[in-house]
Amino acid sequence: MRALQLVADRKLEVVDLPPPPAPGQGEVTLRIAAVALNHIDVWGWRGMAFAKRKMPLVVGAEASGYVESVGPGVSNLLPGQLVSIYGARTCGLCRHCREGRDNLCEHVGGVHGFHLDGFSQEKVNLPARLLVPAPPGVDAIGAAVAPVTFGTVEHMLFDNAKLQPGETILVHAGGSGIGTAAIQLAKRMGCTVITTVGSDDKAERAKALGADHVINYRKDRFEGVVRKITKKRGVDVVFEHVGKDTFAGSMLCLKRGGRLVTCGSTSGVSTEINLMQLFQQQLKLMGSFGCRMENMADAMQKMASGIVHPVIDTIVGFDDLEPALKRMESRDVFGKIILKLEQ
């Protein structure tokens, strides 16, 4: 079967791997349908100073697949069923896993496509408990973007930041995959959404998704514009994932008692924090990583009801993945890049 492996920094190869054996106890063999690209793929592809990777590594952290066969002890899935795949190999035994909060697993084996082989391969065996069935009305692409894209955003906005209807939120990088999800989820629940983008073309598209105010961060300092829009009051919530380049400005955008939730640091991992601002303004800074199992189901339910939809930049094949990662690295995307496997 075909698979896409990272063999060196910035070097991917299409290889032929043996297909997986028959599924074991509690396992399912999946035929991978679609893989969605994320910044974790860019980090893995270009290498990073603080995390060693094993190579060769099958890439792809977020995907959907069709159940091909089920192993002994699997009663909740049937061949042919479309499922969304949880992106990390969690233990299933610790208290957090038993409560469906797998992103807090105490014995996590790693993230697929980064620490462990990922999903850019035709078939894979996985534990059934890490698969969430897609409801009718959700296709392979919708199920592919449920775990890392929509699931992460659900967990950030609702579990961590506890976003409420009527609040104002600043969503950074509204053209990114998670940005396009955050704009839709926040707007549909009745929030005022301010977002940042890097071009006027992206500004139009962000508005079309429901953003009330769009700031081109290459033309204007977002802190100043947010101050004007909110009449110096500040926003209730900042949705962060840019990191170094924006973090101090994000803190300045918060109103007293405001919440900042972050799941990423695409521009750099270190920043300075003004502690006086933190305690005097009574800000809440929250880190968020991955999602609970339920976040994936909730996201797909909202897709099925037409409340939100995946925003697709391009659909590519195995041979086009490197240019796609380069485009992500230069932020020249709007929405998700999808690697489509099934015909």
Looking at the Cβ atoms of 71 and 100, the one nearer to Zn ion is 100
Looking at the Cβ atoms of 64 and 90, the one nearer to Zn ion is 90
Going by C-alpha positions, the residue among 237, 217, 223, 225 that lies closest to residue 331 is 217
For Zn ion, the binding residue among 1, 15, 17, 94 (CB under 5 A) is 94
Residue 3 within binding range of Zn ion, rule CB under 5 A:
no
Looking at the Cβ atoms of 7 and 93, the one nearer to Zn ion is 93
User: What is 71-121 written as a DSSP string?
Assistant: -TT--S--TT-EEEE-SB---S-SHHHHTT-GGG-TT---BBTTTB--S-B
Euclidean distance between CA atoms 46 and 59, whole angstroms:
12
Looking at the Cβ atoms of 38 and 103, the one nearer to Zn ion is 103
Euclidean distance between CA atoms 41 and 300, whole angstroms:
23
Residue 111 within binding range of Zn ion, rule CB under 5 A:
no
Sequence-distant (6+) residues with CB within 8 A of 58 are 3, 4, 5, 6, 17, 113, 117, 118, 119, 120, 121
CB of 128 to Zn ion, least distance (A): 16
Residue 88 within binding range of Zn ion, rule CB under 5 A:
no
Residue 42 within binding range of Zn ion, rule CB under 5 A:
no
Euclidean distance between CA atoms 129 and 276, whole angstroms:
45
Euclidean distance between CA atoms 176 and 243, whole angstroms:
14
- Among the candidate windows 78-86, 100-108, 129-137, 168-176, which touches Zn ion by CB under 5 A? 100-108
Residue 130 within binding range of Zn ion, rule CB under 5 A:
no
Instruction: Tell me how many residues contact Zn ion (CB under 5 A).
Output: 5
For Zn ion, the binding residue among 15, 42, 77, 91 (CB under 5 A) is 91
For Zn ion, the binding residue among 83, 97, 146, 324 (CB under 5 A) is 97
Residue 105 within binding range of Zn ion, rule CB under 5 A:
yes
CB of 111 to Zn ion, least distance (A): 14
CB of 150 to Zn ion, least distance (A): 22
Helices marked H in 169-290 — which ranges? 177-188, 200-209, 222-229, 247-253, 275-280
Looking at the Cβ atoms of 79 and 110, the one nearer to Zn ion is 110
Residue 161 vs residues 74, 77, 246, 264, 291: alpha-carbon distances, Å: 36, 33, 18, 15, 13
Packed helices 321-329 and 39-46: angle between N→C axes, nearest 10 degrees: 100
CB of 23 to Zn ion, least distance (A): 21
CB of 100 to Zn ion, least distance (A): 11
Looking at the Cβ atoms of 293 and 338, the one nearer to Zn ion is 293
Looking at the Cβ atoms of 46 and 107, the one nearer to Zn ion is 107
Euclidean distance between CA atoms 67 and 154, whole angstroms:
26
CB of 130 to Zn ion, least distance (A): 11
Contacts with Zn ion by CB under 5 A lie at: 90-91, 94, 97, 105
